[in-house]
């Protein structure tokens, strides 16, 4: 059975929804969609586009000579909410994968992060291993504290917060890799389509292990 995907509007912070109601009727729909994109979309590009739309709407409203004081306060608070990502950024680990998830590994699964993230929110990604041989190699490297990189073919998806996952049938853990194959979670997330299999069939990211399942 396929999982029903909830609307992003369902996760819109209550404070943001209440503030939108203070704006003129003709701007509410645009702001609702833009705030939802900016706060709740898993795709970073959508969040940035949403923020630009919000900026345009606010600029139009602020130009009004009759803008009430309550609206000015609402604008300030709304911008503060947006600057912190509305509390819906990828700062918390995603749920443990199950067999129905395309990134689930039959042999084992590891949650990695990038530690201190450059774009603000801390990024997490579950990486699955279908190969028992590769999984045992990962466990050995991790136990000996010689694990440096994890990688595989990049597959695009709209079903997780990163917008991609590594093909679990071809994932590999390594102590060292060729420099030309190295990247980061941030770089892939920013433009995942650039990393789909082509001239380079497998990419590697630094392996900061958070959980092993």
31, pLDDT greater than 80: no
- Written as six digits, the tokens of 53 are 């739309």
Outline where the chain has alpha helix (H). 14-20, 25-40, 44-62, 69-83, 132-143, 185-190
Q: Model's pTM, two decimal places?
A: 0.59
Question: Which sequence spans correspond to the domains of the chain?
Answer: 8-87, 108-212
pLDDT per position as a tens digit, 151-170: 999 999 989 889 999 999 99
Q: Answer for the pair 35, 86: CB distance below 8 angstroms, yes or no.
A: yes
Residues 118-145: what's their mean pLDDT?
Answer: 90
């Amino acid at each position: 059975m396929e999982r029903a995907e909830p609307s992003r509007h369902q996760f819109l912070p209550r404070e943001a929804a209440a503030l939108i109601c203070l704006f003129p009727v003709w701007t509410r729909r645009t702001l609702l969609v833009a705030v939802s994109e900016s706060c709740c979309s898993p795709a970073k590009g959508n969040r940035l586009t949403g923020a630009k739309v919000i900026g345009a709407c606010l600029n139009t409203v602020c130009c009004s000579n009759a803008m009430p004081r309550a609206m000015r306060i609402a604008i300030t608070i709304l911008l503060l909410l947006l600057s912190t990502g509305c509390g819906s950024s990828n700062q918390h680990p995603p749920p443990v994968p199950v067999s129905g998830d395309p990134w689930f590994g039959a042999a084992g699964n590891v949650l990695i992060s990038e530690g201190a993230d450059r774009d603000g929110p801390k990024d997490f990604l579950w990486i699955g291993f279908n190969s028992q041989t590769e999984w045992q190699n990962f466990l050995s490297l991790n136990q000996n504290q010689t694990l440096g990189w994890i990688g595989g073919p990049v597959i695009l998806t709209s079903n997780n917060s990163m917008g991609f996952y590594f093909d679990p049938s071809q994932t590999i853990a390594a102590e060292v890799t060729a420099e030309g194959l190295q990247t980061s979670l941030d770089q892939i997330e920013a433009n995942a389509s650039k990393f789909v299999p082509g001239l380079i069939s497998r990419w590697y990211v630094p392996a900061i292990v958070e959980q092993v399942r």
